[in-house]
Structure 1
């Protein structure tokens, strides 16, 4: 993707250079000589003109939701044949046409359109994070019309700063652009890293170096473009606008955000009133900043002083954080590999598939709509009244690997406490099982590593500079923009993980490497194993959705629905089951298909119950269990019964872990619990009765920091 982006932009730059050269020749022949700086402005004009042409074509052929660069993600040689020749012809004709049509107004038209594009692209990127082909096409077309009208009817000359004045303007601009970049490109990303080091797989030196490079490049581009294309008045206006944004970024982050929810792929909701008040405050303060500073004077010194204060306080804070934090993030070298993931035993195999976020109700819908699709699971028992203990993966995975129930004394430290009080993985080893745990390494603690065959402390990682810069800016914008714009900057753990690339590491955010290995290498029997336990944590039905029902990957995540991804992840499981059968291992295997949790629930203060229920899919095939059709069991089970079921299948003492799934009576009267834990809250729910019925759910307690 990054390579294609660079190639496309360089291609447009080459076309713009060619067009500018032709334009200069045409203008000189018409005795309309211009300065070298005007040549630069003209080159910029042709560059965004070619971008518009390509974007319009992509829009017309149906790629309207993608940005231009996204729509070229699968670019090949054929792309240059289809687009290169027409654009090359346009590069020759375009400058001649512009010069002939506008004649003496040509420079003014270019100046006006450049400024329109500069301000418009900045504001569109700020508000949306990116500009899709449809938006850019209509935005640019409107700009052409407006620029033509102004060029015809606007009589005043456009004035650019001369060399000395330009240097003075740039120096005055540095505090403003510097504070914006230091805040969003340096301080906030580093703060996020240093307070969540276990979540990052970058070495700190590489992480900081990438951000510093991004800050220098972005700052340099902003200064050069502003100085090149903006007139004296426009330059001053942009400086005031950017200062207003910087001021509100700072206030939003420090004062106005309140408590931001966990970013788990679902949008956080704010009331319409909250968004309106917040956005109104932004508009009012930015308008006041511009109104007070439009005539320059001493107020500009105050603005610059505020910017320098923001830079100083954040750099000092960052320095203190670096001095008080152990920067050798050893965790970036450690992790769970995909080694042995396709190797099974010729004896007893226990296989657990965790399809992240796959809700029980979604499987019920799929089963009702398309019974044939779920026919490969006819040997399984489907528990349609199952509940999970937790709402989020970070606590759900430790629970599924320990079986330790949560208590209020544990608070947010559940994961470590659970592993300290469970020997489940060790007990499996004692039963003669090779244990492979394929999930994110951060969901385990050091205690388990000795019992896991696929743990490594020497994973080789390479940093992706572009992904690091873009993802960290996205994280910063989420924190510093008004509520109404935050949805455009939602990010998920796969984007954080995508800042590095590691060969052989298990990826819970992308099921395609697992599927490709399954198809390419296939399952095999390792005679060194007496028995094998495999725990596969897959993306499952978690948003955003990248995998289609026919196992095709859509990078944009816009063409794939949740229903398609559900089918896609199940097809991977089906392929695995078919290969088990081919190895004659299916009948003797114990197979559990579940989710770490169901779809998230929303808590509303004062309400007695959540807005929706949340239930994980749960299907179980015990060894030598067969059936002509899927059995549906309505017993009120929980994921707490999964570990006893596994230990029983392994030949261990299941009673030490509790009742097995098939030991829970269908008419059992039991209170089940569901807990949502994140950094700033713990919300507890109880379920009495059918978990499918919202009336069975009740809010027990909600604690907020």
Structure 2
């Protein structure tokens, strides 16, 4: 009996090393550093993972303990090697690792990089396996004490999380503000300004899609497409809050200070006052509240946005998706580079973990499309509507050409599904007689790295074309708010230039800020106190079109502005 207990104890140490690292500590550490993105508290998963991990380890260890000795030694030796390799991977071999959700294609390591990383893993596992047979006398001590040592190191980190994390990671805030989705599919019978922000959609991707998919944009016949637009700043932060408020990026201040500036300045006040004076309800729909609020809350936008509501007791947590997302994120951290792409987590998964029965917002392309088809558009006669709708766009390729969820969807399928969704929305606008009196803008917050220029379509109220128009005027997203003010029929000079102030074939100097990392500059903290991966802005200045931008980008012609702190 004693021998069986010893055998079980040895098995348990090695099994628990792997389970604790990937199922208990890994998800907890990832969550504590990103709890605002999840929108839940630790108790929604933490104790389940802890208790389940302990019990699961007991069951697995008991099964292994019953196996024949040679087979048991082989399994435990490989298990110990994998545990050591996972620890080394997470601590030392992930330098330069792509942040989850940063690119639409997900993580893809180079062949040489994967081979080198794979060799390290094989060496660790082979050494662990060889030692168990060569050093028979010491194999138990090596495996058990090695496992206990690594568990102890990580256990200390696990325990410290409970003393260092913000209290908001453990308890839901009372009276927390959120964005209500009650009117997301409502339009006015009078006038509308409707803005679609299709995240991460580059103009070059659209050009390629139009060549491959005939008639892709035929439904936008009354729109003008600007094929030489500029995003001004790369990534959803700071681009989204800049689009919502019209306040240009100030790279010399902290994230929170910049976001506070965005909501509290005279021009932004005047902008929202004009919208409200013209009878508009101003509604913003986005899953990315930290991007427009930072570590503050929506009280920053009180009096400006009209769809601010209190979170109710009707919070609904998709526990299955929460568990799956955290396990995949943990596996992404610890897996060898050749397997990391299997554990990619799209940003859209965050947005669907939590919902509120009273305040549901559709933020993924398929969810928006399916809700639109199922429920249609409602018409309100009491006010005008400004609808700012931020969808995942091409940030992840999650939908097929029918705008339905699809694993392994291609970029072309995703884009085709997006235009099916847009055409359905426009058709429904026409069906409720709200199309002609609507100003509609279809754009994005940014493009993709060297293909950073965004798509930009616009249809003004009452505008009709026999065929779609296209312009190469050098506009930028800095002209977004002045163009909205122009659509109101007001003088927009206070807010800058509108897109109509730039003419066909004009050459204009423009500047793009790209968040980046430069090890020659001091590291900075994240705005929420975590460890940051970015510490500088690369500032590219160019004259001309996308190809002129790509020249300065490819040749590394940029100025550097150190960050005060970082969003990521």
Which position in structure 2 is the counterpart of 1:444? 292
Q: Residue deviations 1:248-307, cap 9 Å, x none? A: 221222222213232223334544443333222222222222222334323422432232
Q: Does 1:640 align with 2:466?
A: no
Q: Per-residue CA shift, 1:304-362, capped at 9, x if unaligned?
A: 22322322332222222212323334479653232111222232210001122222123
> Pick from 414, 431, 435: which aligns with 1:565?
414
| C-alpha deviation, 1:646, in angstroms | 0.7
Tell me whether 1:455 sits opposite 2:308 in the alignment. Answer: yes
- State the partner residue of 1:336: 179
Q: Check if 1:261 corresponds to 2:98.
A: yes
2:52 aligned with 1:203: no
Asked if 1:362 is matched to 2:217, the reply is no
Query: For the Cα contact (< 8 Å) 1:385–1:691, is it kept in 2?
Result: yes
Conservation of the 8 A alpha-carbon contact between 1:214 and 1:469: no
The alpha-carbon deviation at position 173 of structure 1 amounts to 1.5
Q: Which residue of 2 aligns with 1:522?
A: 376
Q: Evaluate the alpha carbon distance shift between residue 456 and residue 360 of structure 1 in structure 2; reply closer, same or farther with a 3 A threshold.
A: same
Give the TM-score taking structure 2 as reference length: 0.85
Q: 1:694 to 1:444 in 2, by over 3 A?
A: closer
Pairing 1:536–2:380 present: no
Whole-angstrom distance in 2 between the partners of 1:416 and 1:483: 40
Choose the corresponding residue for 2:262, options 401, 418, 434: 418
1:292 to 2:292 alignment: no
Contact 2:108 2:341 in 1 (8 A): no
Aligned to 1:381: 224
Q: Which residue is equivalent to 2:493?
A: 655
Answer yes or no: is 1:433 the counterpart of 2:280. yes
Provide closer, same or farther for how the CA distance between residues 471 and 509 of structure 1 changes in structure 2, counting only shifts above 3 A: same
Equivalent position SS for 1:196:
helix
1:316 to 153, 156, 178: 156
CA contact 2:188–2:381 (8 Å) conserved in 1: yes
> What is residue 521 of structure 2 aligned with on the other side?
none
* 1:690/1:696 contact within 8 Å kept: no
Which secondary structure does the structure 2 equivalent of 1:484 belong to? coil
* Cα distance in 2 for residues equivalent to 1:223 and 1:305: 17
Q: Does 1:305 align with 2:145?
A: yes
Cα–Cα, structure 1 residues 520 and 472, in superposed 2: closer, same or farther, change >3 Å? closer
CA contact (8 A) 2:475 2:502 kept: yes
Identify the match of residue 688 of structure 1 among 543, 547, 552.
543
| Residues 613, 693 of structure 1: 8 Å contact kept | no
The question of whether the paired residues in 1 share the 8 Å contact of 2:364 and 2:391 is answered with yes
Q: Distance in 2 between matches of 1:562 and 1:331?
A: 39
Structure 1: distance between partners of 2:48 and 2:491: 52
Contact 1:641-1:659 within 8 A present in 2 as well: yes
Q: Which has the higher contact order (CA 8 A, sep 6+)?
A: 2
What residue is the counterpart of 1:574 in the other structure? 423
3-state SS, counterpart of residue 544 of structure 1:
coil
1:503-514 paired onto structure 2 within 5 Å: 503=357, 505-506=359-360, 510-514=364-368
RMSD: 2.7
Q: 1:277 aligns with which of 111, 116, 119?
A: 116
Q: How far, CA to CA, are the matches of 1:348 and 1:268 in structure 2?
A: 44
Distance in 1 (alpha carbons) for counterparts of 2:241 and 2:318? 30
Q: Does 1:233 pair with 2:70?
A: yes
- SS state at 1:353 partner: strand
Once structures 1 and 2 are overlaid, which stretch shifts more, 621-630 or 445-454?
A: 445-454
2:227–2:472 Cα contact (<8 Å) kept: yes
Contact 1:201/1:331 (8 A) holds in 2: no
By how many angstroms is 1:591 displaced?
0.5
Q: 1:283 to 1:409 in 2, by over 3 A?
A: same
1:465 matched to 2:319: yes
Q: Which runs of 5+ in 1 are unaligned?
A: 1-162, 602-611
Offset from partner CA, 1:473-516 (integer Å, 9 cap, x none): 21112112222322222222233344445435555652333223
Deviations 1:533-581 (A, max 9, x none): 00111222332332x2233433xx12x3222221222222222212222
Contact 1:613–1:692 (Cα < 8 Å) also in 2: no
Residue in 1 that maps onto 2:527 = none
| TM-score, structure 1 normalization | 0.69
Residues 277, 502 of structure 1: alpha-carbon distance in 2 compared, 3 angstrom cutoff: same
Equivalences for 1:111-126 in 2 at 5 Å? none
Q: How far did 1:702 drift?
A: 6.0
Q: Deviations over 1:440-499 (max 9, x none)?
A: 133322211443233333253333333333322211121122223222222222333444
Structure-2 separation of matches of 1:673 and 1:506: 37
User: In the superposition, relative to structure 1, how do residues 477 and 497 fare at CA in structure 2: closer, same or farther (>3 Å)?
Assistant: same
Name the CA shift for 1:452/1:214 in 2 (closer, same or farther; >3 Å). Answer: farther
Larger Rg: 1
- Matched positions, count: 526
After the TM superposition, which of the residue ranges 412-421 and 682-691 deviates more from structure 2? 412-421
Cα distance, 1:415 vs structure 2: 4.3
Q: In structure 2, how many angstroms separate the alpha carbons of the residues matched to 1:652 and 1:189?
A: 51
- Are 2:243 and 1:400 aligned? yes
Which residue does 1:486 correspond to in 2? 340
Is the 8 Å Cα contact of residues 78 and 125 (structure 2) preserved in structure 1? yes
Secondary structure at the counterpart of residue 350 of structure 1: strand
Partners of 2:372 and 2:353 in 1: CA distance = 26
Change in CA separation of 1:701 and 1:216 when aligned onto 2, cut-off 3 Å: farther
Partner of 2:526: none
Partners of 1:427 and 1:318 lie apart in 2 by 51
Q: Deviations over 1:397-447 (max 9, x none)?
A: 112112333243136555455344444445533443101111113332221
Task: Identify the range of structure 1 (436-445 vs 675-684) with the bigger mean alpha-carbon deviation.
Answer: 675-684
Q: 1:416 to 1:274 in 2, by over 3 A?
A: farther
Checking the alignment, whether the CA contact within 8 Å between 1:508 and 1:537 is kept in structure 2 is: no
Q: 2:331 — aligned with what?
A: 477
